[in-house]
Amino acid sequence: MWRITKQTALFLALAVLLILSIPASALAQVSTVPGNLPDGAAFLIEVPANWNGTLFLYSHGYVTPGSPNPAQDVGDPATRAFMLFNGFALAGSSYATTGWAIHEALLDQVAVLDVFDQLFGHPQRTIAWGHSLGGIITAGLIQRNPHRFDAALPMCGVLSGGVATWNTALDAEVAFSTLIAPQSGLQLVNITNPIANLDLAEAALVAAQATPQGRARIALGAALGSTPGWFVPTSPEPAPTDFVSQEANQFLWDQQVDFPFVFALRAELEARAGGNISWTTGVDFEEQLERSRDREEVRALYKEAGLSLQEDLEALNHAARIKANPDAVEYLENNIIFNGRIHVPVLTLHTTGDGLVVVENESAYKKVVDEAGNERFLRREFVHRAGHCAFTPAETIAAVGKLLARLDTGKWPDSEPDDLNATAAALGPNFNIFPTPQGIAPTPPAFFEFRPGPYLRPFDVFSRECEFGLGCH
């Protein structure tokens, strides 16, 4: 959901490497059109001289308020070079605001399509794609504007929808506050001082990590939020019973990525929505843990720490319940939850060790699409790697190829993960790479068979009807 420094490093390093792989003369023959929309959002359009009639509309991820917000039309320079060289047009906007800018993005991205039509004519095919918050925007675009798009590729997307995402985060916050930072003044909702609130949470987290009891309780919060026990993209995944390493990685996700969102940046969304957008009323924390993929880790760490897991779960279930502001929830529903009514091919891509937008988002999206009877349009691919949006350019291009094959033939190709890996590997060493603190590292493709567990707090059109007494689907 946010742009991280590793992504910047990838851009800079790949810009150099691509001199070796794509002729500069080919990229020079690109019409580049920057501009601004009426609401102030910047846009960028690139059309190669050999345009094949297909346009890819890119939706970027979360931009922290106060950060630079340029228009983006692709996720990385290697993929940009490949797409332009092969005749695909690219476009995208900055959105008019930063933060949880879904409301603006859904309008601005369609406005970019209108500009493209005026300048270059209507594309033969338009494909929506995007990373992270751009993934939820991509799915939102095809839901809101079904006749403007021919296919979609949401990558590492927030596909559970806005309400489910922040409800899940609140469950983990409640566990942390109740069991690790009680009486601390930590604000879970209606945050008034985001920086001070985050500092308070980070200090309590570091103190908890120093004791077996604290580590067990960190693991419980992570389990309620489905935070994976794998953090560094270029590291091997910890063994299934290596609970010590798993918890250490969950601590890093909390400290470096998740806590800034849930204890600080949440305030930006609350200001947009006009109040608290999530709730714990009706939640059974013991039941949530039982459905979590990390339940055995939690049990093992609690036993080692000499703590009663049952007592802590009862403490959570007896904690004061948090109620949402109905108008704020309505805002978040509009920006956005899903109804599963897709009528164009959608291919999703996710790493299994994503601790910011957890892989269970894919289960939530599949569930609502299946309930709407549109499962034939959806396919999912998974990459065995830690990290948020931690794809190589080769993996992205291989996914694009599968989606285009579906458009070209009218049916999904019978491709296995090994086929996608072979396609990615064939792109060569300049595309099979990933940034590390030591520089760009050769990284083989890592598609594999995977089935994510259930999303613990789903909220889509059908679950909303059940929850608010409107009749279940």
114 shares a domain with 137:
yes
Which of 283, 311, 331 is at the close of a domain? 331
Residue 472 falls within a domain, yes or no?
no
Phi-psi region of 25 (alpha: psi -120 to 50; beta: other; left: phi over 0): alpha
Is the Cβ–Cβ distance between 53 and 125 less than 8 Å? Answer: yes
Residue 275 falls within a domain, yes or no?
yes
128 shares a domain with 275:
no
357 shares a domain with 296:
no
Residue 471 falls within a domain, yes or no?
no
pLDDT (tens digit per residue) in 289-336:
999 999 999 999 999 999 999 999 999 999 999 999 999 999 999 999
Both tokens assigned to 466? 């059940």
State residue 415's pLDDT score.
Answer: 86
349 shares a domain with 320:
no
211 shares a domain with 326:
yes
| Local structure of 58: helix, strand or coil | strand
Residue 220 falls within a domain, yes or no?
yes
167 shares a domain with 155:
no
380-406 b/e with 16+ CB inside 10 Å = b? bbbbbbbbbbbbbbbbbbbbbbbbbeb
- How far apart are alpha carbons 90 and 404 in whole angstroms? 15
- How far apart are alpha carbons 176 and 219 in whole angstroms? 10
State the total domains in the chain: 2
- How far apart are alpha carbons 119 and 113 in whole angstroms? 10
pLDDT (tens digit per residue) in 130-141:
999 999 999 999
Q: What angle, 0 to 180 degrees and rounded to 10, lies between the N-to-C axes of helices 77-85 and 393-409?
A: 40
- Measured CA to CA in angstroms, residue 73 lies from 158, 188, 350, 365, 443 at distances of 19, 35, 20, 25, 24
Which of 307, 331, 355 is at the close of a domain? 331
User: Who contacts 397 (Cβ-Cβ below 8 Å, separation ≥6)?
Assistant: 79, 82, 423, 424, 427, 431
Domain housing 226: 163-331
223 shares a domain with 356:
no
Is the Cβ–Cβ distance between 72 and 101 less than 8 Å? Answer: no
pLDDT (tens digit per residue) in 78-97:
999 999 999 999 999 999 99
Mean pLDDT (whole number) for 253-281: 98
Residue 473 falls within a domain, yes or no?
no
237 shares a domain with 133:
no
168 shares a domain with 143:
no
| Local structure of 30: helix, strand or coil | strand
Residue 219 falls within a domain, yes or no?
yes
367 shares a domain with 352:
yes
pTM, two decimals, is 0.94
200 shares a domain with 52:
no
Alpha-carbon dihedral of residues 183, 189, 192, 198, nearest 10 degrees? Answer: 70
Residue 128 falls within a domain, yes or no?
yes
CB atoms within 10 A of CB 255: 16
State residue 16's pLDDT score.
Answer: 36
Residue 416 falls within a domain, yes or no?
yes
pLDDT (tens digit per residue) in 427-470:
999 999 998 888 999 999 999 999 999 999 999 999 875 564 43
The gap from C-alpha 72 to its chain's centroid, in whole angstroms, comes to 17
Which of 306, 331, 356 is at the close of a domain? 331
Helix (H) or strand (E) holding 43: strand 42-48
What is the CATH number for 112? 3.40.50.1820
377 shares a domain with 439:
yes
Helix (H) or strand (E) holding 126: strand 125-131
**188 phi/psi in degrees, rounded to 5:** -90, -35
Looking at the predicted structure, is the pLDDT value of residue 104 above 60?
yes
